[in-house]
Structure 1
Amino acid sequence: MTDPAPSLVTDVPDSILTGAPYRIGAVTLVAQGLGALARFYQDVIGLKAVSREPGTVRLGVGDTVLLVLRGEPEARLWTPHEAGLFHTAFLLPSRADLGAWLEHAERLGIALTGGADHLVSEAVYLSDPEGNGIEIYVDRPASAWRHAPDGSVVMRNERLDHAGLVHAAERPWSGMPPGSCVGHVHLQVGDLEATERFYAGLLGLDVMCRYPGALFLGSGGYHHQLAGNIWNSRGAPVRTEGTTGLAAVTLVADGETLASTRSRCGNAGAFFVEDGDTLVLRDPWGTCLRLVLRQ
């Protein structure tokens, strides 16, 4: 409960995300090598240092914190079969920005782990030096998203138009541009039913898409602010303290959403802590969720 609530990005690419009851504020990661990891997110991903203090570096865009790195040199390295982070997804304002980042990554010799056209978005993937997954993506306009008869958003893994994205670049990459934000956080979980009970039942997110082995949850009509999958982590137990990787996710909520979540948690007997206008609770695998009031 020591991280300050991040300021809000107000000029994100699509109003459907701007006005959503929930938005991702910041992601907190535990790092063995704090300095090296901070340099990676600055040099490769394009974040800027917002503040530094002993053992902690806060990175973001302008004055907005998107990523908090907490140094714990003795922490055990997280393994890919544990519950935790699948990826932090940084949303860029335009295809031109994603194309510029791709050129930048190529110049640096950064190896991508994948790329896909998800119909709602175009995305590329990589990992940081400590194995934390990263997505860099751009949304298609919400008016172009397809919906199934049951109202769910249609998302797929189609071939990415890499050449078209690079061609769309208008200027060299010079860091993550204004309007960039953490669009969503994708988690590794042990069980999808428990994920739905917690994130939909308690937090009040909507199930936007069911995919083999994964669940996508959104707010305000957005395709997803949070997701969970069991592709590598089926049956994973509660995470142990003292490991690297995901430590916390901050969700920015409006007052009505925060109040209704507090009421549901109380009625269900779920343990939570109130810290002023912040509600702190843990999901079934020990991931800390900090729900802060939108200012």
Structure 2
Amino acid sequence: MSGLPFAATTPVSVSRVGLRARDAEALAAYYRTIVGLQELSRDGETITLGAAGRPLLVIESDKSAKPDDPRSAGLFHTAFLLPSRADLGRWINHAIGDKIRIDGASDHIVSEALYLTDPEGNGIEIYADRPHEGWKWQNGQVEMATARMDVEGVIGSVPAGDAGWHGAPENTVVGHVHLRVGDPSQAENWWQKEFGFDTVAHYGDKAVFMSSGGYHHHIAGNIWQSPGAGRRDPGRSGLSWVEMRSSQASAETSREDPWGTLIRTVPGKAA
């Protein structure tokens, strides 16, 4: 059995993500069927999904919400981190068998990832990390890139006679959240100040990657679609909130980033 991924063992890590949905039932069905999350609980029209009892995604119904605007600040993608490369291979076999449409498949050196878009336009990454001991660092910056994934190699990591994909396995976590922001340098300053994050990579002046405890990134912010974006429209669907887990926190808190995205913090280590 795989252990908890490195991403979730750092002083600060991502706990859960909240989405505001125009059709919560349909969106929850997508994350169950395609991503492999299990429904854990319901509270009115709010549906909590996760893996092996661990809450990862909360879908809040808002039938009156306007569709998300991809040019505004908000969610670029929620990244679900599987415990092993073989788990990613099992998911790929599931995607092939069920003819699941994907937007891309990349090798980022530190990880291997596939990308999807849910029915309401929210980005999804499903990925597995390479062992963090082998990541290359120089002057506090981690080596990352975007290259073609060796899909056959990932599939080949699944043992012969394996039982296959049966949903997101135990120790699946939200490894990182990538945000659409209006200004990466402003995002960088905010996350450094509020969470003590280290900046571990820049993609020119278009994107910044930040983390706690030597991870390749827990939070990223980019302006690929949203340059100069102002505060978010609270009446739109899409990202509702991001919840961070912090071993340094003594109580639950909430704050807004410069674009009005609600960032919650809960105390404790990942378990």
SS at match of 1:79: coil
- Give the CA deviation at 1:226: 0.5
2:92 to 95, 102, 105: 102
CA distance in 1, matches of 2:155, 2:101: 16
- Give the CA deviation at 1:203: 2.0
TM-score by length of 1: 0.87
Q: Is the 8 A contact 2:82 2:168 kept in 1?
A: yes
2:174 to 151, 176, 182: 182
- Give the CA deviation at 1:12: 1.4
Q: Which runs of 4+ in 1 moved over 2 A?
A: none
CA distance in 2, matches of 1:142, 1:134: 22
CA distance in 2, matches of 1:209, 1:112: 26
CA distance in 2, matches of 1:13, 1:235: 35
**Cα distance change on mapping 1:165 and 1:79 into 2, 3 Å:** same
Q: Determine whether 1:292 maps to 2:266.
A: yes
Q: How many residues align?
A: 264
Give 5+ residue unaligned stretches, structure 2: none
- Give the CA deviation at 1:18: 3.9
Percent identity between the two aligned chains: 44
SS at match of 1:292: strand
SS at match of 2:137: coil
- Give the CA deviation at 1:19: 3.0
Q: What are the equivalent positions in structure 2 for 1:1-295 lying under 5 Å apart?
A: 11-14=3-6, 17-148=7-138, 150-170=139-159, 171=162, 172-212=164-204, 213-255=206-248, 258=249, 277-294=251-268
Deviations 1:193-245 (A, max 9, x none): 21011111222111011112110000011111100001110101100111110
Amino acid at match of 1:294: G
CA distance in 1, matches of 2:234, 2:5: 36
- Give the CA deviation at 1:53: 2.1
CA distance in 1, matches of 2:158, 2:101: 20
CA distance in 2, matches of 1:278, 1:117: 36
SS at match of 1:194: helix
CA distance in 2, matches of 1:237, 1:11: 40
Deviates more, 1:197-206 or 1:41-50: 197-206
CA distance in 2, matches of 1:90, 1:13: 11
CA distance in 2, matches of 1:202, 1:178: 31
Larger relative strand fraction: 2
Deviates more, 1:210-219 or 1:163-172: 163-172
CA-atom RMSD in angstroms: 1.3
SS at match of 1:177: coil
CA distance in 1, matches of 2:132, 2:253: 30
Amino acid at match of 1:185: V
Q: Is the 8 A contact 2:45 2:60 kept in 1?
A: yes
CA distance in 1, matches of 2:114, 2:5: 18
SS at match of 2:142: coil
Give 5+ residue unaligned stretches, structure 1: 1-9, 260-276
Amino acid at match of 1:166: I
SS at match of 1:200: helix
SS at match of 2:16: strand
